[in-house]
Amino acid sequence: MTREELTDLFYNAPTEELTARAGEVCRRVHGPEVLLRGLVEYSNYCPCGCLYCGIRGGNSRVNRYRLTDGEVLASVDAGYERGLRTFVLQGGEDRKFDTDRIARLIGMIKERTKNEAAVTLSCGMKSREEFRTLRDAGGDRYLLRFETSDPELHRYLRDGKTLAERLENLEWIREAGFQRGSGYMTGLPGETDEIRLNNILLCRDLELDMVGIGPFIPHPDTPLGGAEQQGLDHALRGTALLRLALPEAHIPATTAAGSLEPDGREQMIRGGANVLMPNLTGVEYKKDYLLYPGKICLDESGVQCIGCLSMRVKTVDRRLSFARGDAPRLVGAAV
Ligand code: SF4
């Protein structure tokens, strides 16, 4: 879809029409299946100061944790036994949980899953060499959301870090050979229609394999705690337009959408999303990884969540898939 067509739809198409079109495209390209990815939140230490983030370094009210290798692997084992074949390692930019340690963990995960499982990394910004190290260790995919395409808003929200640095990291991720994921938050204070459209166009121009949108939910212990909460509409429209712009991309129905509205994830699936991410992190840690308040599924294990997700996707005429779910451009090729 061209930039002009996307721009026209962005400004003129009603949400119902957009989500119906996107749902059809999703079904045609990905079938009725919703891919599962098992999430492990390995550390909530982060020295960064992103204004919207509940685990930002400046929030002294967070109970900090760092999983042991054994705890990470136990979560992976539980998911693998249940049939999951993608694991997402996610954490703050914790200097003590460094690249060498993540690389070692990738090797251990590959070994115990007999190389069947894909490993996705969501470990923040790295150097060019570090991305290569993680890819050489067997990492399959890397997620790094740019959060907003507006350079000034980005610098403000991410405590001085520039959009250009983030985009350079995304280039290094592609260069290292990862399946590449990015995305943004929507409903941020200071966000305009023009920024929302540019977010979508940037995802399209980056030709992402995976793209995620999360609605901004103000966390009371952050500088944006008093900001206005927007509804789910921006995220729904964004998801639908991304599906039309990038038909093959894997797009999650984000937990933030489910936290904002009880059927938020189902709405996103109906309108173009095709991925769900049960959280395999130990229940004793989940409550301490709150990027935003009101996060759902904190008292259930990720494995228990799969049963609930199975029922939820049925309500929108879909079924869960335990496949690895690599980028379609690589299916049939070595990954
Ligand atoms: S958004 Fe990521 S980098 Fe920023 S403070 Fe939170 S965990 Fe750290």
Q: Domain ranges for the chain, please list them.
A: 3-323
Distance CA 95, CA 91 (A): 11
Give me ligand 1 centre to Cα 145, in Å.
Answer: 11
* Whether pLDDT at 7 is above 50: yes
- Residue 335's pLDDT is 46
Task: Determine the average pLDDT of the residues in 69-82.
Answer: 97
Q: Is 328 in the pocket of ligand 1 (CB under 6 A)?
A: no
Phi, psi of 24, deg, nearest 5:
-65, -45
Ligand 1 atom, smallest distance to 158 CA: 4
pLDDT tens for 39-59 read: 999 999 999 999 999 999 999
Listed residue (232, 238, 227, 274) closest to 253, CA to CA: 274
- Residue 334's pLDDT is 46
Where helices occur in 137-272 by DSSP H, the ranges are 151-157, 163-176, 193-206, 233-245, 255-260, 264-270
Provide the percentage of residues in the chain whose pLDDT is more than 90. 92
- State pTM to two decimals: 0.96
Ligand 1 atom, smallest distance to 46 CA: 8
* Whether pLDDT at 303 is above 90: no
Distance CA 197, CA 241 (A): 9
- Residue 294's pLDDT is 83
**Range from 97-101, 171-175, 239-243, 294-298 carrying the lowest mean pLDDT:** 294-298
Task: Determine the average pLDDT of the residues in 164-172.
Answer: 98
pLDDT tens for 226-259 read: 999 999 999 999 999 999 999 999 999 999 999 9
125, 160 Cβ separation under 8 angstroms: no
Q: Which of 42, 45, 46, 90 to mutate to test the pocket of ligand 1 (most atoms within 8 A of CB)?
A: 46
Ligand 1 atom, smallest distance to 125 CA: 3
> Could you tell me how many residues make up the chain?
335
Mean predicted lDDT score pLDDT of the chain:
96
Phi, psi of 210, deg, nearest 5:
-135, 140
- Confidence grade of residue 26 (pLDDT, cut at 50, 70, 90): very high
pLDDT tens for 262-298 read: 999 999 999 999 999 999 999 999 989 988 888 888 8
- Confidence grade of residue 333 (pLDDT, cut at 50, 70, 90): low
- Residue 300's pLDDT is 84
DSSP letter, residue 13 = S
Q: Is 50 in the pocket of ligand 1 (CB under 6 A)?
A: yes
Q: Is 180 in the pocket of ligand 1 (CB under 6 A)?
A: no
Ligand 1 atom, smallest distance to 124 CA: 3
Which secondary-structure segment (H or E) carries 90?
Answer: strand 86-91
Q: Is 144 in the pocket of ligand 1 (CB under 6 A)?
A: no
* Whether pLDDT at 305 is above 70: yes
3-323: what fold? TIM Barrel (3.20.20)
